[in-house]
Amino acid sequence: MDAVTLQDRVNEVLRTCFDPEIPVNIYELGLVYDVTVEPSGHVGIRMTLTSPLCPVAASLPIEVEDKVRALPGVTAAKVEITWDPPWDPSRMSDAARLQLGLL
């Protein structure tokens, strides 16, 4: 499997992970800042949370890693949480804004 196909599959899996307080997936919310896929199958994800006090701050990164790691072709997955830049609603996709009634 080439890196582009694996990249697409990783992005699809990220759309299955949700912030429990907002009924929109983390990808459309704009919580995912960067996804790198190495030819070796190692996937790195740099993401944030809506708030440092997010109730799933400990569990959501693990869920993301586990779901990505389960993809065929992924040999390792690592999630890095960052607070810089801080998340704000302007990072949401148009689809997320529409779903939340903000468009």
Residue 52 is part of a domain; what is its CATH number?
Answer: 3.30.300.130
Residue 67, token pair as written in the block: 């779901």
Whether 32 maps to a domain, the answer reads yes
What 3-state DSSP class applies to 78? Answer: strand
User: pLDDT tens digit string along 7-66?
Assistant: 999 999 999 999 877 889 999 999 999 999 999 999 999 999 988 888 888 899 999 999
At 51 the pLDDT is: 86
State the pLDDT at residue 4: 64
Nearest-5° angle of CA 37, CA 60, CA 53? 125
pLDDT greater than 90 at residue 73: yes
Does residue 72 lie within any of the structural domains?
yes
Name the domain count of the chain. Answer: 1
Residue numbers of the domain that contains 72: 3-87
Query: Residue 2 pLDDT more than 80?
Result: no
* 93 vs 22 pLDDT, higher one: 93
Could you tell me if residue 66 is left (phi over 0), alpha (psi between -120 and 50 degrees) or otherwise beta?
alpha
